[in-house]
């Protein structure tokens, strides 16, 4: 085996949103290489993909326009792990309450957009997520969605005030909050571990 044969290349969907923060977090969490994904061909060689926070309506529209929705669904179907944070969680969800959202439909959950209020209502908390890390993980909520209900086979990894804010089905991971805006890399490490599992 040549050196570099088992290097882990992660991707960040780079249409809109907090892209560089996730790229930095993935590198700190152990990815050897991080690429920006704007077009389907840029998914080639990516072993794990992050869908960042931002504006889910904008990202969803661009996903469809560039044919990235089809490409991402295909790769996830083949086993590529995907991690959606905030707007990214909305894009992964099968159903968005009271909203016709263009998305990926990769996770059987029902989410409510902007459930935690407006930009000024942003807050930071620590969440117990024993499957991810033994110490509580740091989480920043910014106009965040929450999960109203989860379908069969969805594992709830963390709740905040009773609401599901972190969940997983197979290699699809979704967080209401922004782990990349804290210094805590446990969730990005956990995500990358799905690529090597």
- Choose among 110, 40, 113, 31: nearest CA to 73: 40
Minimum distance, C-beta of residue 145 to ligand GLN, in the bound complex (Å):
6
Residue closer to ligand GLN by CB (options 14, 56) is 56
Percent helix / strand / coil, the chain, rounded to 5: 30, 30, 40
Q: Is 140 in the site for ligand GLN (CB under 6 A)?
A: no
User: Should residue 95 be labelled a site residue for ligand GLN when binding is judged by CB under 6 A?
Assistant: no
Contacts of 45 (CB under 8 A, 6+ apart): 9, 35
Q: Is 34 helix (H, G, I), strand (E, B) or coil?
A: strand
**149 in Cβ contact with 109 (< 8 Å):** yes
**Is 180 a catalytic site residue?**
yes
Check binding of 54 to ligand GLN (CB under 6 A): yes
Joined together, the tokens standing for residue 23 give: 């790229």
Among 143, 164, 167, 169, interactor with ligand GLN by CB under 6 A? 143
Spacing of C-alpha 168 from chain mean position: 10
Which is closer to ligand GLN, CB of 54 or CB of 81?
54
Give whole-number Cα distances, 192 to 93, 98, 102, in Å.
21, 33, 27
Nearest distance from C-beta of residue 7 to ligand GLN, angstroms: 29
114 is a site residue for ligand GLN (CB under 6 A): yes
Among 33, 55, 95, 128, the residue binding ligand GLN under the rule CB under 6 A is 55
Catalytic residue among 22, 86, 138, 188: 86
Helix, strand or coil, per DSSP, at residue 127: strand
Stretch that binds ligand GLN, among 4-12, 35-43, 53-61, 123-131 (CB under 6 A): 53-61
Q: How far is the CB of 122 from ligand GLN (least distance, A)?
A: 9
Interface with ligand GLN (CB under 6 A) = 53-56, 86-87, 90, 113-114, 142-143
Active site (catalytic) residues: 86, 178, 180
């Amino acid at each position: 085996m040549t050196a570099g044969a088992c290097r882990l290349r992660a991707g960040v969907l780079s249409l809109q949103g907090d892209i560089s923060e996730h790229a930095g977090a993935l590198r700190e969490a152990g990815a050897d290489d991080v690429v920006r994904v704007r077009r389907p061909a840029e998914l080639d060689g990516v072993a794990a993909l992050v869908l960042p926070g931002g504006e889910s309506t904008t990202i969803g529209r661009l996903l469809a326009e560039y044919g990235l929705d089809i490409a991402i669904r295909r790769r996830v179907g083949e086993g590529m792990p995907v991690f959606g944070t905030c707007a990214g969680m909305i894009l992964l969800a099968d159903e968005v309450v009271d909203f016709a959202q263009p998305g990926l439909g990769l996770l059987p959950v029902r989410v409510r957009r902007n459930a935690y209020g407006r930009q000024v209502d942003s807050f930071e908390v620590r969440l117990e997520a024993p499957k991810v890390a033994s110490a509580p993980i740091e989480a920043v909520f910014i106009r965040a969605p929450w999960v109203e209900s989860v379908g069969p086979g969805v594992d709830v990894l963390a709740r905040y005030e009773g609401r599901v804010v972190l969940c997983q089905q197979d290699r699809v991971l979704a967080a209401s909050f922004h782990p990349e805006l804290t210094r805590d890399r446990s969730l990005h490490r956990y995500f990358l571990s799905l690529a090597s599992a």
